[in-house]
Structure 1
């Protein structure tokens, strides 16, 4: 394992392609909690350099956090591929921010600065034209269409997505700051537009740092994923299970990527991830379902903190080959659909009233029979 503090230029320079595997959860960052604070940090660094006017800036750089990736064996003529094990939210946001700023800087006529930033977001080789490899980052399946639209807009595309909102946010903020629009307190940004454009471009290239942890082929990426994400972070038990399931699928040669559209479809949506009351605690529906499902399968109590371990122990023998994995996940999907159908029964029916007033309100478990 090798860890380095890298700037965006060092992370994305050359024909790089960071792939977020299909088992990763979709993009979830938002303006209030992540985009706005990140932009404020970027502007604080940029303004510090404008005010320093060649001297020592008060805020020379900003640390973004960590990203863990696994390098793939190189292939002549191909991009240098990396699988993102952890840090997909910040790397996706960083790419969206750089692209949005690049577009505004180009729009304002700072052509050379725009070209410098473009090298961090696109692989310009003709061999990659129209392919995912043209991007430095390729997100998980759920986010790909929106990401491609944000980074390389198509005129006939329509739809809403959190990724598009993030790109729009950074574009609007960059345009306002570069053109000298006062902030909410009436303060105008320092320097001329040229100075601001230069400082912002340099900040995005060289003054942001991530601790990039490059795993070797001998490291257990699943263990590292669990350690990083199962210690008080927002990831759910179901996220850890999804990661494990998809990695097992790849090991046995199953069509794991297709599982995103078959067996795991909609588990990342708001209904499944919404927290509901269970006894004295609030937990996501998907985590509650998995716990109930294991209880039904094992005919034994499964404690909340043991869900991930128990799932892997139970599912492991069933996922020894592609046929067994398909059978197990099909049953898991069928039971999940039954669970959701029960939860969505109208409350003015006897069954719906029972579910709402007894199962969810009182936190009792009722599972479909297999």
Structure 2
């Protein structure tokens, strides 16, 4: 490597293209963390120029400010092509500087300083190039940003860019949808530059004053120009033939906005593609563009991207792409993998096969991620979709590698008609253990062991195959509770207190679904359902009578029994938020007809014929719900 300290304008003065590899992440810098500190550094140097000139001593030395480093790798060009380098590190900084220079150019263009504007033009565009559509830009960002970047640099003014990207408001939204970050960056710097060039010497550059003497505004604009040209420097590191771009890229990852594991994986894979002589453009557009460009589901907000959405896994939140990569590497390697070491594990797995083809692997990655996306956000009504929806409430992701095996990698081994039974048993195992409070601590090892056994065999995968593993007494995750244990927990445990509300909703929704027959209409619930205690948590006599004395036992007082059954499933139902609020702590004589009249759930038709509500009725209804639960989540006495 060789490094050089260059003033900012020297970096952009020559005819050169700084190309951001298409597989690097999109633009992510933002105002508070990056734009504002960068502007303060630049404005500080410009103020130093003004102070020197005010003293009348232009020979006074002004210290330079370093903006950090960029790492470049020379690309071969031919004929009249513009000299081109690949940006290995520092693309966010380079892109931001170009946006800022364009904003400065356009602000000056609105004044009488045409010569200054022409000078600035030289630092944002290459002149007299052969392929003007592409080569005219000094910086050429990654695919995901190119459209917004071109529109921003070509806008010509703050007002024109605002008109091209007007604020959009969601229905009932309190804030407008954010514009693309490149656009917001331009608008930010344009405002700051306008304020700086129109402020008086005694005022802050952030006051936003809009009217001063033209000559004075010109003086401040020239001070900013000089600061950028002479007193802002950047370290340019250029790689040589024996330097490994991937090693450099990973070493420098500690600076700036931390790269996600999926960012490192993307860079690693496409550098391997380059080494194999494959077309990175084709590979990106065919396979990887999905991860940068796929829009999120309708309720996620305009402009959001599906794979950038955050999902919770245990106590941490990860992007969907990182989450998928984590489970995919576990599935392909059949090894336990802490998500904090995802990139290292991916690289180790990849390099375990020196002949691995990038195009083949990206094709497999897409095949699995398409299915994984349908598991994360299921939109069907089949048995696997229902399981996927319930998994979200169960908050159990350790089964995902097994699902990738069943739904993609080992799909041809799953017998005809077997899959529905398999996912039913997996769901039963998870739900019964949750209801019985048997814990999830060893799920990772348990499902990894299941995956290893499935991968080690070439035999067909049947429902009985999975049942044998779930029923195995030596399973590290423990037992699959039988009907007796399941019934005791279902009827007696205060599940509302021990489970999260969304899990109680999942259990009750499943029972309601099971209660429906072919003679009844399908009901779509548009609003969010909430858990209602039929016997209220804050019950008070005489609205709700004291429990009968005979209800107690030697081990439990009547009040303790009521407190426990109060939160059991027999006393819980589902209502819309509005209906829940209206009946709340009211007496049963008021609740019963209101629920019967307003609710369309089969779960609530039970109350139509009930006169009083007490502990005996709670147990009776709990037993009815239990019979449905045992059919939804069956458990064989032994493997078939």
Report the TM-score when normalising by structure 1: 0.88
**Residue 274 of structure 1: how far off its partner (Å):** 3.9
Deviation track 1:301-348 (CA, whole Å, cap 9, x = no partner) reads: 123344223323433477847xx4323211211211221221113699
CA contact (8 A) 2:8 2:233 kept: yes
Consecutive unaligned residues of structure 1, counting only runs of 5 or more, are: none
Aligned-partner Cα distance in 1 for 2:207–2:51: 18
Does the Cα contact within 8 Å between 2:196 and 2:205 map onto a contact in 1? no
TM-score by length of 2: 0.52
Q: Partner residue of 2:286?
A: 262
Q: Which piece of structure 1 moves more, 230-239 or 284-293? A: 230-239
Name the residue aligned to 1:339: 372
Counterpart residue number, 1:200: 224
Q: Distance in 2 between matches of 1:2 and 1:141?
A: 29
Q: Give me the whole-angstrom Cα distance separating, in 1, the residues matched to 2:151 and 2:131.
A: 17
Q: Match for residue 18 of structure 1?
A: 18
- Alpha-carbon shift at residue 249 of structure 1 (Å): 1.2
Q: Residue by residue, what CA displacement relative to the aligned partner does 1:72-127 show, whole Å, maximum 9, x if unpaired?
A: 34645332211000000000000110111011112112122222221111111152
SS at match of 1:267: helix
From 182, 185, 196, the counterpart of 1:166: 185
* Equivalence for 2:233: 209
Alpha carbons of structure 1 residues 201 and 166: separation in structure 2 relative to 1, 3 Å: same
CA distance in structure 1 between the partners assigned to 2:368 and 2:354 by the alignment: 18
Flag the structure with larger Rg. 2
Task: Tell me by how many angstroms 1:176 deviates.
Answer: 2.5
Following superposition, the deviation at residue 265 of structure 1 comes to: 2.3
Q: Which 4+ residue blocks in structure 1 deviate beyond 6 angstroms?
A: 56-59, 154-157, 187-191, 346-349
Task: Output the CA distance in 1 between the equivalents of 2:369 and 2:377.
Answer: 12
Could you tell me which residue of structure 1 aligns to residue 333 of structure 2? 298
Q: Does 1:364 align with 2:364?
A: no
Q: CA deviation at 1:245?
A: 0.8
Q: Deviations over 1:109-167 (max 9, x none)?
A: 212222222111111115242x2111111111111111111112398995552112211
Instruction: Find the partner of 1:283 among 276, 301, 318.
Output: 318
Counterparts of 1:294 and 1:221, CA distance in 2: 24
Structure 2 residue 178 is matched with structure 1 residue 178: no
Identify unmatched segments of 5+ residues in structure 2: 166-178, 294-304, 410-640
Conserved in 2, the CA contact under 8 Å of 1:275 and 1:285?
yes
Between the aligned partners of 1:187 and 1:254, the Cα distance in structure 2 is: 52
Task: Decide which of 127, 130, 143 is 2:130's aligned counterpart.
Answer: 127
Per mean C-alpha deviation after superposition, the further-off stretch among 210-219 and 39-48 is 39-48
Relative contact order, CA 8 A, sep 6+: which one is greater? 1
SS at match of 1:47: helix
Which stretch has the larger CA shift, 232-241 or 113-122?
232-241
**Offset of 1:65 from its aligned partner?**
1.2
Change (3 A) 1:232 1:309: farther
Deviations 1:162-182 (A, max 9, x none): 112211221222122223386
Shift of 1:183: 5.3
CA distance in 1, matches of 2:255, 2:189: 31
DSSP-derived class of the 1:261 partner: helix
CA distance in 2, matches of 1:136, 1:264: 25
- Whether contact under 8 Å (2:198, 2:209) holds in the other structure is no
What CA deviation, in whole Å up to 9, does each residue of 1:6-43 have, x standing for no partner? Answer: 11222112211110011110001112221122122211
Separation of aligned partners in 2, 1:281 and 1:362: 13
Range moving further from structure 2, 333-342 or 146-155: 146-155
Contact 1:79 1:133 in 2 (8 A): yes
Query: Which runs of structure 2 are paired with 1:1-370 in the superposition (5 Å)?
Result: 1-53=1-53, 54-55=56-57, 60-73=63-76, 75-129=78-132, 131-153=133-155, 160-180=179-199, 192-229=216-253, 234-268=258-292, 270-316=305-351, 320=355, 324-345=357-378, 350-358=386-394, 361-367=395-401, 368-369=404-405, 370=409
Conserved? CA contact 1:15–1:80, under 8 Å: yes
Segment drifting more, 108-117 vs 96-105: 108-117
- Superposed CA deviations along residues 217-270 of structure 1, whole A, max 9, x for unmatched, are 111111111111168951011111100111111222222122332211242464
Distance, in Å, in 2 between the alignment partners of 1:259 and 1:328 is: 11
Assess if the C-alpha contact under 8 Å between 2:195 and 2:207 holds in 1: no
Q: CA-atom RMSD, angstroms?
A: 3.1
The 10-residue stretch of structure 1 (333-342 or 147-156) with the greater mean CA deviation from structure 2: 147-156
Q: Once structures 1 and 2 are overlaid, which stretch shifts more, 82-91 or 51-60? A: 51-60
Residues in 1 aligned to 2:18 and 2:315: alpha-carbon distance in whole angstroms: 41
My pick for the range that moved more, 171-180 or 270-279, is: 270-279
